[in-house]
């Protein structure tokens, strides 16, 4: 359409041949981006002045956190471990469950369209649900505590890994699949032996990446009572005990950093 409105450039070669060059869409896209930014600034009452004037407040609180109460560590330890356990367990089970779900969502593997469409819709609904909200719902069903948090992380992992996995499956090379069918395998077996090896490295990498993010999500789930370090953070901010907050944040940053470094190391090996 774009190329109909804006005529393409014509080059005439010495021998009289005319070659058409389609106009680039970049200037147009750039323009749309600027307009969109301007509108969002208007809509959200974004004000640069506030940011600058209130930044001072941030530094004051930050200064209050230093030095952190090192002696608070024993109390931080247990909730921190809970947070890691929650995200680890939720990520592992979620990634495993994502495999059959992604299978059902792949239009090149499952030929019965309604199943594919339903699974895809289910995954998008699951993905639009913020983890905090699913955690809140989980606490209403399973009660307060880490189990609710694990469920929330699990659901998010299924939706995230599931989506990326089915996209990978739909992009996979179907030729070996055809060969497996010609050998006498069922479609499920052909998937297992022809498609799964193709998507496995990427699946593991996605799962690890999701786990990294989940540690951060898990840290705030305590706010809705879904266990972990978030509860402690909430309490201490409430009491304005900023040196304790400092200690919690320090441990959290350290943990996230270590996990990300390890995960990144393995992800690089996978690709």
Partner 1 sequence: MIEFNDVEKIYPGNVKALQHIHLTIDKGEFVAVIGLSGAGKSTLIRCINRMHDITSGQLFVDDVEVSHLRGKEIRKFRQKIGMIFQSYNLVTRTTALKNVLVSFVPQLSFWRKMLGLFSKEHKIKALTALDQVGIVDKAYVRVDQLSGGQQQRVALARTLAQYPDILLADEPIASLDPVTSAQVMDDFQRINRDMNISVIMNIHHVEMALDYADRIIGVRDGEIVYDGKSEDVTQEVLDHIYKGNVEELRETYEGEQAHVQ
Residue 195 has what DSSP assignment?
I
Residue 96, interface with partner 1 (CB under 8 A)? Answer: no
- Tell me, by CB under 8 A, how many residues bind partner 1: 19
User: Which of 40, 50, 189, 261: binder of partner 1 (CB under 8 A)?
Assistant: 189
Residue 23, interface with partner 1 (CB under 8 A)? Answer: no
Residue 108, interface with partner 1 (CB under 8 A)? Answer: no
Identify the residue whose tokens are 């497996």.
180
Q: Could you give the CA distance from residue 65 to residue 67 in angstroms, rounded to a whole number?
A: 6
Residue 180, interface with partner 1 (CB under 8 A)? Answer: yes
Q: If 0-12 CB within 10 Å is exposed, 13-18 middle and 19+ buried, where does residue 177 land?
A: buried
Contact present, 161 and 95 (Cβ < 8 Å) = yes
Report helix angle 48-64 to 242-270, nearest 10: 100
Residue 224 has what DSSP assignment?
G
Please choose, out of 69-77, 106-114, 196-204, 256-264, the segment that lies near partner 1 by the rule CB under 8 A: 196-204
Q: Shortest Cβ distance from residue 193 to partner 1 (Å)?
A: 5
Q: At CA 58, angle to CA 56 and CA 61, rounded to 5?
A: 115
Q: Kindly write out the interface string for residues 119-158 of this chain, putting x where it contacts partner 1 by CB under 8 A and - elsewhere.
A: ----------------------------------------
Please choose, out of 29-37, 57-65, 159-167, 195-203, the segment that lies near partner 1 by the rule CB under 8 A: 195-203
Q: Shortest Cβ distance from residue 111 to partner 1 (Å)?
A: 14
Tokens of 268: 């690089």
Q: Could you give the CA distance from residue 173 to residue 73 in angstroms, rounded to a whole number?
A: 51
Residue 193, interface with partner 1 (CB under 8 A)? Answer: yes
Residue 129 has what DSSP assignment?
S
Q: Which helix (H) or strand (E) holds 249?
A: helix 242-270
Q: Is the peptide bond before 67 cis (omega within 30 degrees of 0)?
A: yes
Residue 107, interface with partner 1 (CB under 8 A)? Answer: no
Q: Which helix (H) or strand (E) holds 72?
A: none
Q: Kindly write out the interface string for residues 200-239 of this chain, putting x where it contacts partner 1 by CB under 8 A and - elsewhere.
A: -x--------------------------------------
Please choose, out of 94-102, 144-152, 172-180, 262-270, the segment that lies near partner 1 by the rule CB under 8 A: 172-180
Residue 50 vs 186, nearer CB to partner 1: 186
Residue 11, strand partner residues? 19
Three-class SS of residue 260? Answer: helix
Please choose, out of 37-45, 88-96, 103-111, 188-196, the segment that lies near partner 1 by the rule CB under 8 A: 188-196
Site residues for partner 1 per CB under 8 A: 173, 175-176, 178-186, 189, 192-194, 197-198, 201
């Amino acid at each position: 359409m774009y190329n109909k409105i804006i005529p393409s450039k014509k080059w005439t070669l010495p021998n009289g041949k005319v070659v058409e060059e389609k106009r680039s869409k970049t200037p147009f896209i750039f323009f749309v981006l600027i307009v969109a930014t301007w509108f969002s600034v208007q809509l959200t009452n974004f004000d640069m002045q506030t940011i600058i004037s209130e930044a001072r407040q941030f530094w004051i609180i930050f200064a209050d956190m230093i030095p952190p109460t090192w002696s608070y560590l024993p109390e931080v330890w247990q909730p921190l471990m809970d947070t890691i356990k929650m995200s680890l367990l939720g990520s592992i089970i979620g990634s495993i469950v994502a495999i059959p779900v992604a299978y059902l969502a792949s239009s090149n593997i499952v030929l019965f369209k309604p199943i594919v469409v339903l699974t895809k819709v289910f995954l998008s609904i699951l993905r639009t649900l913020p983890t905090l909200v699913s955690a809140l719902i989980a606490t209403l069903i399973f009660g307060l505590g880490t189990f609710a948090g694990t469920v929330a992380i699990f659901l998010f992992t299924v939706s995230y890994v599931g989506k990326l996995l089915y996209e990978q499956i739909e992009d996979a090379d179907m030729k070996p699949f055809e060969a497996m069918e010609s050998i006498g395998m069922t479609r499920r077996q052909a998937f297992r032996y022809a498609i799964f090896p193709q998507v496995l490295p990427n699946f593991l990498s996605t799962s690890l990446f999701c786990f990294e993010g989940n540690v951060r999500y898990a840290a705030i789930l305590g706010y809705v009572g879904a266990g972990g370090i978030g509860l402690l953070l909430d309490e201490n901010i409430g009491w304005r005990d900023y040196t304790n907050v400092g200690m919690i944040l320090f441990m959290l940053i350290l943990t996230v950093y270590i996990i990300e470094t390890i995960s990144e190391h393995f992800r690089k090996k996978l690709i």
